[in-house]
Structure 1
Amino acid sequence: MEILRRLYLYRIMHGPSSYIVAVEMVQFKNFTQAAFAFSPGINLIVGPNGAGKTNLLDAVHYLSMTKSYFSATDQPLIQYGKEGFRLEGKWYQHEAEHQLVCVVREGTKKEFRVNDIPYPRLAAHIGRFPVVMIAPDDVQMITGGSEERRKWLDMLLSQLSGDYLLHLVAYHKILSQRNQLLRRWVEQPSSHVHDLLDTYDKQWIPHAEAIFQYRQQICAQLIPLTTQFYIHLSGNKEHIQLQYQSQLHEKPFAEWLREQRKLDLQIGRSSVGIHKDDLQFLLNGYPVKIHGSQGQRKSFLLALKFAQHQLIVKQKGIIPVLMLDDIFDRLDPKRIQLLLSLIRLEGFGQVLITDTDPERLTAHLPPSSTSVNWIQLTYPLQGA
């Protein structure tokens, strides 16, 4: 297929991948102290449930994004009874090896260094060593509410643009302040509320408009890529559609704010804005979340993530690490075969895959796959 040819061409054009060489964990989740080495190609991480396969992927994600993929705070990541954790990784990129170190201690500021140079702001690290993660609960992006889809879109854009992340942080800070003002007014009305709202709105509008433009631009590229990946994963049997939905398609944000101010004061919160944006996913003209099977929903999710991977390659000239956590569950053998035919391509760079069943992996990998690196975890963990 055309998409497979293009993936290979991107790989040639952009040179070596960005890949994780090794990671060491101290008091991180169920690892007291452990170290693992990876190959630049396909890495298969196998072992029973509870052995730490997902935690190993999360350590790599943390080194890339300065936070866990699964937890909003650091506290659940600290091994029980300990006061902090340390992650250290060697990451190959731009023909050089980089040393990444993160130290988290209770009650102190997180430390994050690359080649012994600390970051003044953690946001400056986002996107430097990109990753794309796929986990079982990600299907909530298909079946859940709009917040899950915005979160994913924000994560993608934050890896592509530091300016987007700055606009996003500023937007949500003003949103929080504006909502606090509206709640106070409901409890204790004041004649100054309109002047204060005018001030907030004047600061708010440029950030909303910038975010809207970024999302429009990325969705224009995301939609055709996702469609092509899904065609491959479904064996060209199903038709999908994606639609970016935003109130700002209808009229400018400033006009929305003027029209909705009375309602905002009545309900005590901001009723319009890009925090209401959504992505709609359709399969053969019907919502996937309602009419799609488990396999179709998972294929849709995989197509979105693969499109995310390719967009990072195109815009940053870096091939991100692709991490797939227990993604073969609820996929029929045909879809598994089609999926592995994609990730075996050289254009995907380094891939980390976890599974409880090594026989399922070997059944779909060609006998000549000598470049595959196997990592076997046992339970209870040795050294944990």
Structure 2
Amino acid sequence: MYLNKLSISEFKNISGATLDFSPNLNCITGINGSGKTNVLDAVYYLSMTKSYFSNPDSQSIAYSARQCHVSGEYTRFDASKDIISFSIERNGSKVFKRNSKNYSKLSDHIGVIPIVMVSPYDTCLVNESGEERRRFLNSILSQLDAEYLRRLQNYNQLLQQRNRLLKLENINEDLLDTFTSRLSVNASYIYDKREEFTLLLTPIVKKYYNLISGKREEISIEYVSELRESSLEQLLAINREKEKILKFTSAGIQRDDLLFSMNGHKFRLCGSQGQQKTFLISLKLAQFEIMREMYKKQPILLLDDVFDKLDMTRVEALLGLVSSDIFGQIFITDSNKVRVKEILDTIGGDSALFELNGGDLR
């Protein structure tokens, strides 16, 4: 499946545009702040029902507008069409449609159009808290496994209910037992899927990192979880009295993390900007490969400003990768117009070039 037409109205700084895309390579150029990333975020929205950048939906509406609207026309491999659209009101209400039919649950759409995005924002995966890395895991696994998404939603709802109960002066012990048991069942499934995925992910990330860097560094990924040693039910039983004082749930998969290392040291402490970017690109290319194998089709790949801070050796290696047959439809943004034209010449084949200036595309 590929996106052949995108219509945008009052989405962030893009007041209105209709774009016809190549099924292969699409490059968007323009100065920084012109809105290149917003085009990719609109495409991401159509797959994931939300912004890539964790912003409230209302922030996607242009300042002077009351609502925004985005529509994408997709062509399946059997040449049939799918129309995906969404609109967001200033009050935050959102309507998502597939072929003019409203989704009753947005989660039903996750996985319909697999997608992978690489962005400068991804540095938060290395430099920020474990929340960002859990969000990364959840984003991928929710696309791959509808049951994972359902369990995760159940877990988060039960966690909120259990925390509210712990804040009460008089706690219903039977109800606390019920929440604990149900929380543990969901946590076990989530833990198993995260562990399984990390074991699958790690060697593929290493493969891409070595291809891009020329085997200059040794990297590793470790999944860190309290559930490795004990079930959540056991952990919460041990902490039960302490939690009544703390008034919140003290253990669980909401505390899981991924530890990224280079040459035996934490990446955020020793990695240069180029090394960090190489690692993050490798991480996302590994995500792409896993999703391609699971879906038996190629996800859409969004590469936002990926060449900045990479030396020429790594740029050339990355171009060699994305120009191979394993990738399908690709969107690349770059503020360097000369480099964009060189990319198009290097990769060749069917492609499209768009120039963006202050939200206007041509």
TM-score of the superposition, structure 2-length normalised?
Answer: 0.95
8 Å CA contact retained: 2:13, 2:62: yes
Q: Provide the residue aligned with 1:151 in structure 2.
A: 135
Partner of 2:55: 72
Give the structure 2 partner of residue 242 of structure 1: 221
TM superposition shift of 1:318: 2.0
Q: Structure 1 residues 377 and 122, CA, compared in 2 at 3 Å: closer, same or farther?
A: same
The corresponding residue for 1:113 is 97
Do structure 1's residue 342 and structure 2's residue 321 form an aligned pair?
yes
Deviation, structure 1 residue 154: 0.2
- Tell me how far apart the structure 2 counterparts of residues 368 and 94 of structure 1 sit (CA, whole Å): 23
Alignment of 1:360-375 (within 5 A): 360-363=339-342, 366=345, 369-375=348-354
Q: Alpha carbons of 1:175 and 1:257: their partners in 2 closer, same or farther (altered >3 Å)?
A: same
Instruction: Return the letter of the residue paired with 1:98.
Output: D
Unpaired runs of 5+ in structure 2?
A: none
- CA 1:260/1:332 → structure 2, altered by over 3 Å: closer, same or farther? same
Residue 140 of structure 2 aligns to a residue in which SS?
A: helix
CA contact (8 A) 2:88 2:95 kept: yes
- What is the number of equivalent residue pairs in this alignment? 361
| Secondary structure in structure 2 of the residue aligned to 1:27 | strand
Q: CA 1:338–1:159 in 2, change beyond 3 Å: closer, same or farther?
A: same
CA distance in 2 between partners of 1:367 and 1:195 (Å): 66
Is this contact kept in 2: 1:337–1:364, CA < 8 A? Answer: no
Secondary structure in structure 2 of the residue aligned to 1:377: strand
* 1:141 equivalent in alignment to 2:125: yes
Structure 1 residue aligned with 2:334, among 336, 341, 355? Answer: 355
CA distance in 2, matches of 1:101, 1:29: 16
Spell out the pairing of 1:278-317 with structure 2 (5 A cutoff).
278-317=257-296
Deviation at 1:341, TM superposition (A): 0.9
1:88 aligns with 2:71: yes
> Structure 1 residues 148-157 or 243-252, which shifts more?
243-252
2:17 and 2:360 in contact (8 A); partners too: no
User: 1:264 deviation in Å?
Assistant: 1.4
Which residue of the partner structure matches residue 230 of structure 1? 209
Taking the aligned partners of 2:239 and 2:271, their CA distance within structure 1 comes to 36
Residue 147 (structure 2) aligns with? 163
1:10 match: none
Q: What is the identity, as a one-letter code, of the residue corresponding to 1:27?
A: E
CA displacement 1:132-171 (0-9 Å, x = unmatched): 0111011110121111100000000000011110100110
Deviation digits for residues 26-46 of structure 1, max 9, x if unmatched?
Answer: 111112211111111111100
Q: Distance in 1 between matches of 2:359 and 2:106?
A: 34
CA-to-partner distance for each residue in 1:154-191, whole Å, 9 max, x for gaps?
00000001111010011011111111222x23xxx22x
Residue 122 of structure 1 and its aligned partner are, at CA, apart by 0.8
Counterpart AA for 1:337 = E
Q: Per-residue deviation at 1:77?
A: 0.7
Taking the aligned partners of 2:67 and 2:360, their CA distance within structure 1 comes to 19
Distance, in Å, in 1 between the alignment partners of 2:196 and 2:293 is: 14
Asked whether the equivalents of residues 112 and 119 of structure 1 are also in contact (C-alpha less than 8 Å), the reply is yes
Indicate conservation of the 8 Å contact 1:340/1:365, yes or no. Answer: no
CA distance, structure 1, for counterparts of residue 38 and residue 26 of structure 2:
15
Deviation string, structure 1 residues 168-227 (Cα, Å, up to 9, x no partner): 011011111111222x23xxx22x343231121122111111111111111121111111
Q: In the alignment, what sits opposite 2:298?
A: 319
Partner secondary structure for residue 51 of structure 1: coil
- Percent identity, please: 36
Q: Is the partner of 2:360 in helix, strand or coil? A: coil
> CA offset at residue 52 of structure 1?
1.5
Indicate if the aligned counterparts of 1:336 and 1:364 stay in contact, CA closer than 8 A.
no
Match for residue 173 of structure 1 among 157, 160, 170? 157
Q: 1:105: how far off? A: 2.2
Q: Secondary structure at the match of 2:209?
A: helix
Cα distance change of structure 1 residues 323 and 271 upon mapping to structure 2, 3 Å threshold: same
Post-superposition offset of 1:107: 4.1
CA distance in structure 2 between the partners assigned to 1:111 and 1:242 by the alignment: 38
Aligned residue in 1 for 2:38: 55
The residue identity in structure 1 corresponding to 2:98 is: V
Q: What secondary structure, in the 3-state scheme, does the structure 1 residue paired with 2:326 have?
A: helix
- SS for the counterpart of 2:62 is coil
- The answer as to 2:14 corresponding to 1:35 is no
Residue 12 (structure 1) aligns with: none
Tell me, what secondary structure is at the counterpart of 1:348?
coil
Instruction: Decide whether aligned partners of structure 1 residues 368 and 350 sit closer, same or farther in structure 2, where only a CA change above 3 A counts.
Output: closer
Question: Distance between the aligned counterparts of 2:119 and 2:346, measured in 1?
Answer: 27
From the superposition, tell whether residues 110 and 59 of structure 1 become closer, same or farther in structure 2 (CA, over 3 Å): same
Question: SS at the partner of 2:353?
Answer: strand
